[in-house]
Every structure is written in structure tokens, then in C-alpha cells.
Amino acid sequence: MSKRRVWFSWPPWAGLLGVVALWMVAAHQLPDAILPDPWVVSLELGSILLSGDHWANTGVTLRNVVVSFLLSLLGGVALGLWAARSPTLQRALHPVIVLIEAAPHIAWLVLAVLWLGIGMGPPVLVGVSMALPLIYMATSHGIAQIDRGITDMARLFQLSWYKRLTYILLPHLALTLAGAASGALSVSWRAVIMAEAFASNAGLGQSLWGSYLYGQVTSVYAQVLWIVLLGLALEYLLINPGRQFIERRLQHA
């Protein structure tokens, strides 16, 4: 699908407008303390954004998400490549990855606070615990899908590890990883904000939880709206263009 079609096709916008319309209808039926009007929430968001604090919190959260995503990406790919060298290692790593994946966010959060204290550590660790297994699985799956003839060719012609990595492994992995990275970024985003609420001095999650504790319902909705908008921006400004770029590069595959 072309870039133009992604941006200007109407169904995504119709879906979003439908949600806003439902919100407006529901807001008229419910008290403001439960569901304020979207217009009021938008005004609140505007005033929040005009204050410097919210931008600082946004910066903290984005930093935490980027750090946890990059650590997951590097760690997951490195583990996947390492495990691919030996079926025994792969079998040994599998239950560890499943164990990491199976533990709920809150379990990781409590452990992270115990280990690292309050601050940047817990959100990043919780983000990594959720995103790394996705990247690792995608890497392992991608490597398993490489044609045996290609690996035989690489062995026979004694290709260097650098050539194997850059010409065979990474291009093969790129498409699988592009999908997994999209999921990993999304998971990191949610996990980091959740962890910030309970285990950080700053960030969007901490700010949101603070507003809730002080009973600032309109502010809570405004911040949720901001988090959702940022999530959409991440998806459509970063992940989708990145995936399209990779697909264009590998269009002949």
C-alpha cells in the first residue's frame, strides 16, 4: 500500500471519529466525575500542554520507552542469533523466555522496585521484560525460516561472518523483525507507562496516577488522550514508515 493511501484512506479516520461520537453521546448521559465531555477534555489537554511539566514528563516517558525498546531489540536479536548457533542452547533458552513472558507486568514491577528502587530502572526493566521475548521469538523464527540451500551456499563459499550477517541474516530477519518491533514498541509503551505510575518520580504514568489520586478526572482523561495520541503518532509516524521502508528495500524478495 502506498504512503498516500495509508494517510488519506478514510476508514481509519472514520473509526476514530466513531469513537469520539460515542464518547460525546455517553458523556451527555453520564456525570462529569465519570466521563467528561470530549471538548472539555480537549481544552484541559491544551492547558496541560501549555505547562512545561507535561512536556518534561512526556520526555521522560519517551526516553524510558526508547531505552527499553532498544535494549529489547539488541538483547532479543543477540539472544536469537546466539541461540540459532545451537539447538541445545535454543531448547535451554526456550523455558526462560516463556517464564519471562508468562510473569505478569505487576510481578516484574514489584521485583524491579526491589532490585532497582524508584526511578528510571523499573519502567525500563518492565518494558524490556515484555518486549524482549517478542523480539527473541521473531529472531528465532526468522532464522529458522532461512532456506537450507542459502546456508549451504554460505558455508560452501566460506562467506565471512560479516557477509552472513549483513547479506543473509539481517535481510531475512528484517521483515519478521519489522512486525515484531512494531508489537514490541507498542508493548514497551504500555508497560513503561504502567510501571511509571507506581515506581517512578516522573513520566506520563506517574503524572496520570497523581491526577487520579487527587481526583482530577478531567485531567486524567486529558492525559489518557495525550498518551493515546502519542501512541498513534508512534505507530503512524515511526513504525509504519519504518516497516514500509524495509518492505521497499526488500521489494524484490
Partner 1 sequence: MPDGTYSMQPTHYSPPRTQQPVVVLDGVSRIFAGGGGLSSVDLAVSSGEVVGVTGTSGCGKSTLLRLIAGLETASSGTIERNYNRLGMVFQEPTLLPWLTAQENVELVLNPSERPRAREALRRVGLESAANQYPAQLSGGMRQRVGIARALAGHPDLLLMDEPFSNLDYLNRTELLELVRERVLGAGVAVIFVSHDVREIVQLCHRILVIGGKPGRVKAELHNPALAHGPQRRHGSLANLEQRVLAAIRGHSEARCNCS
- Judged by DSSP in three states, 119 sits in coil
Alpha-carbon distance of 47 to 61, in angstroms, equals: 20
Query: With contact defined as beta carbons under 8 Å apart, do 88 and 141 qualify?
Result: no
Q: According to the binding rule CB under 8 A, does residue 149 interact with partner 1?
A: yes
Q: Which is nearer to partner 1, 150 or 232 (CB)?
A: 150
In terms of C-beta density within 10 A (0-12 exposed, 13-18 middle, 19 or more buried), how is residue 158 classed? exposed
Selected binder of partner 1 within 3, 85, 91, 155 (CB under 8 A): 155
Q: Which is nearer to partner 1, 22 or 153 (CB)?
A: 153
Binders of partner 1 among residues 170 to 189 (CB under 8 A) are: 171
Binders of partner 1 among residues 109 to 148 (CB under 8 A) are: 147
Q: According to the binding rule CB under 8 A, does residue 156 interact with partner 1?
A: yes
Q: According to the binding rule CB under 8 A, does residue 245 interact with partner 1?
A: no
Selected binder of partner 1 within 19, 102, 150, 238 (CB under 8 A): 150
Residues 6 or more apart in contact with residue 64 via CB below 8 angstroms: 120, 123, 124, 127, 192, 196, 200, 203
Count of C-beta atoms within a 10 Å radius of residue 132:
26
Residues that bind partner 1 (CB under 8 A): 147, 149-150, 152-153, 155-157, 159, 163, 167-168, 171, 249-250, 252-253
